[in-house]
Amino acid sequence: MMQAQGRPHATKAPLDDSGLPTFEASGGDWDQIAAEIAELGEERIVVNMGPQHPSTHGVLRLMLEIDGETVTEARCGIGYLHTGIEKNMEFRTWTQGVTFCTRMDYLAPFFQETAYCLAVERLLGVADDVPERAQVIRVFLMELNRVASHLVCLGTGGNEMGATTVMTISFTAREEILRIFEMITGLRMNHAFVRPGGVAQDVPAGLSQEFARVEVEVRKYLKQLSDLMLANPIFTSRLKGTGHLSLAGAMALGVTGPVLRSAGLPYDVRKANPYCGYETYDFDVPTSTDADAYARVVLRLEECYQSLKIAAQCIERLEKSTGDPVMIADKKIAWPAQLAIGTDGMGNSLDHIKEIMGESMEALIHHFKLVTEGFRVPTGQVFQTVEHPRGELGAHIVSDGGTRPYRAHFRDPSFNNLQAVALMCEGGQVADVVVAVASLDPVLGGVDR
């Protein structure tokens, strides 16, 4: 069927593999496309929603089979953001691997860095030797990162439903947290700050005062978001009952994180299998039994408050441990020896450069070999999990005794959670697909890797 250029149309195509007619729709307004389909006397149609970015934080393709406005089948098409990160890690030293895995889920870099480093430390047999101050810094960064990640989820999800103000407030609040990240690591994202044996450097002076200011601002913005969303009858009616996923369905699909907890199971790796000293922190794991998109919004807001509560406890511990080491004492593992944030970002401190270049040939040789060759990790394999903003993140690291990983594979929660799209969308309306997918909060950088 030939149509004038720019005019929306639906074209009847040959039969598909099942012997049923299919239609290809392109361009223009949906009402006009639907009217033309009605003229052809067929209601069944397969449409591509995407590949797209909104609410998915990456490029996701949804293949929807619809009957009128009802979704009868939903499938995910992934792979558009594939980076080969896991394979690339096999060709870099153990420390350089941090620079790769931090870039997977770019909204939650500290979680990937920490999971990977905890796994490497277990292989090295030095998990108990990591300084307490380094573990506290890791927890502090992860919890602020959780808040920042949830803010992006709430903001982009609200924007997709027409609430642009929700996005502007969320992103403004997130900027406050990113300023702290930049203050500590020199970067807003892709930090590579958590290293095997500890962290790259100590936190700067004035962090306590800056966090006190940021906490007040973020809590203010969270209150605004709560008022805008949860007290809005249009928003609540749009989300309540949408994207329903029962506890049985979530467990069968391996779904974790806020989506699982919205169905009533209080599973949180920080409580179930503590790491980085989480068993010593006071916090709650919020749950719901409504199992819908609205419950997931409520839970993410509550998790932001719980994370701020943990971060405040970290600040207290950092103030009491000022001057303590943040990197393991074993110089055969600790790399780089010293870092500092300068005008051009984070790099080796001037004092360290002065020592290795002008005072100690042995230190220069050691630094050169450690940076270029790296350290060896004993043969073995380990699986380390952490509680990521989107669920359980697992790092499966295998060593053959060399200076590089033999294999690095990550169980990314977004990948597992996307399996629930069909169960959440089929039988519902086309318009509800966006709401359901947004409530999963998938980040395709983590899915495709």
Query: How high is the pLDDT of residue 22?
Result: 60
Query: How high is the pLDDT of residue 34?
Result: 67
pLDDT at 43 over 80: no
Q: What is the mean pLDDT of the chain?
A: 85
How much of the chain exceeds pLDDT 90, in percent? 40
CA nearest neighbour of 149 among 99, 198, 209, 105: 105
Lowest mean pLDDT among 21-25, 100-104, 323-327, 428-432: 21-25
Distances (CA, A) of 412 to 329, 390, 422: 32, 9, 19
Q: What is the pLDDT of residues 156-186, one digit of tens each?
A: 888 888 788 888 999 999 999 999 999 988 8
Query: How high is the pLDDT of residue 80?
Result: 85
pLDDT at 8 over 50: no
Alpha-helical regions (H) of 161-292:
164-185, 207-230, 233-239, 247-253, 258-261, 269-272
Q: How confident is the model at residue 304 (pLDDT cuts 50, 70, 90)?
A: very high
pLDDT at 38 over 50: yes
Q: What is the pLDDT of residues 374-387, one digit of tens each?
A: 888 999 999 999 99
∠ Cα 76 80 83 (to 5°): 125
H-run or E-run covering 417? helix 413-417
What is the SS3 assignment for 321? coil
Q: Where are the domains of the chain?
A: 9-77, 85-335+374-448
In this prediction the pTM is 0.84
For domain 85-335+374-448, the CATH architecture is Orthogonal Bundle (1.10)
CA nearest neighbour of 310 among 253, 268, 339: 268
Token pair, residue 143, equals 């919890």
- Of residues 76 and 53, the one with the higher pLDDT is 76
**What number of H helices and E strands is found in the chain?**
18, 12
Sorted by sequence, the CB contacts under 8 Å of residue 247 that are 6+ apart come out as 260, 263, 264, 265, 291
Residues 433/49, Cβ–Cβ less than 8 Å: yes
Largest CA distance in the chain: 85
* pLDDT, mean of residues 2-16: 46
* pLDDT, mean of residues 130-136: 92
If phi over 0 gives left and psi between -120 and 50 gives alpha, with beta otherwise, what is residue 287?
beta
Lowest mean pLDDT among 102-116, 120-134, 206-220, 339-353: 339-353
Lowest mean pLDDT among 25-39, 40-54, 83-97, 264-278: 25-39
* pLDDT, mean of residues 87-114: 91
d(CA 106, CA 85): 12
Phi, psi (degrees; rounded to nearest 5) at 381: -145, 155
d(CA 120, CA 97): 10
d(CA 376, CA 404): 8
User: Mutual orientation of helices 132-160 and 109-124 as an angle, nearest 10°?
Assistant: 150
Residue pointed to by tokens 């004035």: 206
Q: How confident is the model at residue 4 (pLDDT cuts 50, 70, 90)?
A: very low
* pLDDT, mean of residues 299-318: 93
- Of residues 32 and 318, the one with the higher pLDDT is 318
pLDDT at 192 over 80: yes
d(CA 97, CA 117): 9
Residues 313/135, Cβ–Cβ less than 8 Å: no
**Edge-to-edge strand list for the sheet holding 407-411:** 380-388, 391-399, 407-411
Distances (CA, A) of 101 to 151, 244, 397, 406, 411: 22, 32, 12, 15, 12
Query: How high is the pLDDT of residue 342?
Result: 66
HSE toward the beta carbon, residue 121, CA cutoff 13 A: 27
Query: How high is the pLDDT of residue 237?
Result: 86
Q: What is the pLDDT of residues 412-442, one digit of tens each?
A: 999 999 988 888 888 888 888 888 888 888 8
Q: How confident is the model at residue 324 (pLDDT cuts 50, 70, 90)?
A: confident
What is the SS3 assignment for 293? helix
d(CA 65, CA 68): 10
* pLDDT, mean of residues 201-223: 91
pLDDT at 35 over 90: no
Taking the alpha carbons of 208, 179, 393, 335 in that order, is the dihedral positive or negative? Answer: negative
pLDDT at 14 over 80: no
Q: How confident is the model at residue 406 (pLDDT cuts 50, 70, 90)?
A: very high
